[in-house]
Structure 1
């Protein structure tokens, strides 16, 4: 065992009083936060000493799976399998909310209220999200803490990014309904939502959430915010005149995040965050079109390339229908391109998922207009100040999050809560 790994193993055993455990196995993996910033994490699986175990494919009840950042020694995750804990650690109990928050602050190095806030308080479970001075940030970091019926901590996890005030461009919130209402109306559209109990599609008018910059001049989609790093938004119609008569053979792709201790200690990063050059984009677009000519030869002008990004050492090209329907589950094709020779080697088509709804009854025709529906929903639209990471400025900028949890039934004109569908 490498001395650095042993150091963290010993540190973890002492910190969490794992006297009743032994280290069964460990591995190192690379983790990314919402901004694609990388860290290296040691995962340790501690088996309870008093539990007999013969199946190496399954962890016994009481196993402690603990993730620790190799460089900072901050704990990223604690999971006790099946909600059973034999640890003697001085974890907070489920009934001590203030102590839980203080413990989270101590474990994460974050400050409650200034860098994260409480968003969920259920029985034996607390959920937190990243925030600066209680203003939400996107991409959103999250912290979850759960307890078993005995009040013992059985899960702690932290994911994503938690900025502080120095990473913000502060300004007073200045968006008004005069600015946001036209944007909300522009986003407002007819949707078809699957009702599994009725095995039918339901036509509903709704407004997908969107971010608007504080000056009202630009809006940012959730997709853009969640896809940082090398993400490039595209709008390229794929068209061709002839089929390419070459058989396409899928190759396996390696998306493993596991790394060696040497890579971790060297902070060896991959190329996923490197922006795609214009030449790389052009090569990827050309290869994507040629792939479609082989695999979907009759689909010229039926698909658009909507984004490109690097991931796991590959270039991913995402395609969506050129004439999309109203259904909330979109048809997509993802083409995986080898970034060394710009050759398509694999692809994913979510038509299999959509086929699960193939027997659903079609949605009824709308009986009210979009304008009528929007007027019914206007008073339910929320505009909330949030901080959104802007790649160009490399900082968080103040935006308004335009969102609405309600929709309008396109047939009955009833205002309905979308989460209840």
Structure 2
């Protein structure tokens, strides 16, 4: 430790190891010193593990989040004006799932009602898809925009889906990579502060969280998912961002499409007034939350039916260099999996489908991997549907047919036919509804 540092990493680690509450000064220092490289990776690993094992209270998590935000820049949308008035901003964050393409129809849908949506999104890692990877299957579409261009598009079109700049919460970037290799990813204080530091730094007026629960989700059980949702809602409220969360079911993939181009296709169907019922339901429900948080009392389902959301989508894609009319990439090879018996499909495991899609080339194993735009899985049936022996259940798609074998292996035991089908609700609960 240099003579100029007010604390040492060892004393901060020891405090948390011994179940003590870290002071504001300790938290501010450790995040700043880690970002500067004064606290070494192995020391931050030890602290992350101590937090994983011993937890943090609300004040600690709040201060930790604040310190992560202060490590970088903050965006400010308060100057955003539309025709004659200031524009409210709202954003949505999903904890990630399989077939979760909701951001694509949601951002233009909310923008229809005069609420601007600065949707800073990420890429996929592992079995959960990334919004930017999906949109990059549209010819010409660009994920990277300058802050100035983002503001321009928000002022004119009202919705933008782009990559977050590297200036937002750089401490989180370092810590995230470290948590990944030290088995501390699941620590709720660290998950919550990681997500919320970026979302609060984005400067949006309100935020709606979609916290997934189930096999294809990061959180498998509903109690832990609710704890995460409550922690994140509290962090948002503490930072002055009106925040609410929906707990949503991720035992079965969302919609009938899992992949990149194929999910864009399904999103466009939803914007055209069609698409699978579960995707439509969740898009409309999240839009209601975002609009209510911005003081707008309208039923957004109307704008999906009458084409207004589609108009905003087309402008949004065009604004970012994309061609909304261009043909989307098609896979070079397909392989169909058929039912071996007749009966009712009673379950279809989201995780297995997600892993199979990833193995087909739709996702990446390491950050530097490239993804195949046309890879993925088309579902022909959902739980509750009747199936006949020999009927197509899933179509696997890839440009590299040698991937089929491992993808099919991932699907072993992924569905059940026969037995009693018990329908599950899509929306399992709500935390911290916005005050009207």
- TM range, smaller chain: under 0.3
User: Higher Cα Rg: structure 1 or 2?
Assistant: 1
Higher relative contact order (CA closer than 8 Å, sequence separation 6+): 2
TM-score, structure 1 normalization:
0.28
| Structure (1 or 2) with the greater helix fraction | 2
| Structure (1 or 2) with the greater strand fraction | 1
TM-score, structure 2 normalization:
0.27
